[in-house]
Amino acid sequence: MERRDRSLKALKELIYIDSLDSFAKADALVKWYENYLSTDSIEDFDLELNQFKQLRELFFKNINFLKNHKEETRLELVQIQKMKRFLKH
């Protein structure tokens, strides 16, 4: 029962995280991963099939979000570095 409750809590948190704006979402996803997947496996989740499908969709959607967010952040850092060099001269 404890495993099921933890699994349901993880799914609910991931649903909530999916509704957040960009930077808050990225930070929340990192924390979610640390809480639920850093020491345990996704195979340890105890969910119904439809809940697993929902988790899977959110999981892969958010992986793609993080990839895009990482690239956007990298480009912003490049722009900031260019601005710093310009302002120094």
Give CA 21 to chain center in angstroms.
12
pLDDT (tens digit per residue) in 11-54: 999 999 999 998 899 999 999 999 999 988 888 899 999 999 99
The pLDDT, as a whole number, for residue 22 is 85
pLDDT (tens digit per residue) in 55-64: 999 999 999 9
Give residue limits of the domains in the chain.
2-88
What's the predicted TM-score (pTM) here?
Answer: 0.80
pLDDT at 9 over 80: yes
CB 56 within 8 A of CB 13: no
- d(Cα 4, Cα 10) in Å, to the nearest integer? 10
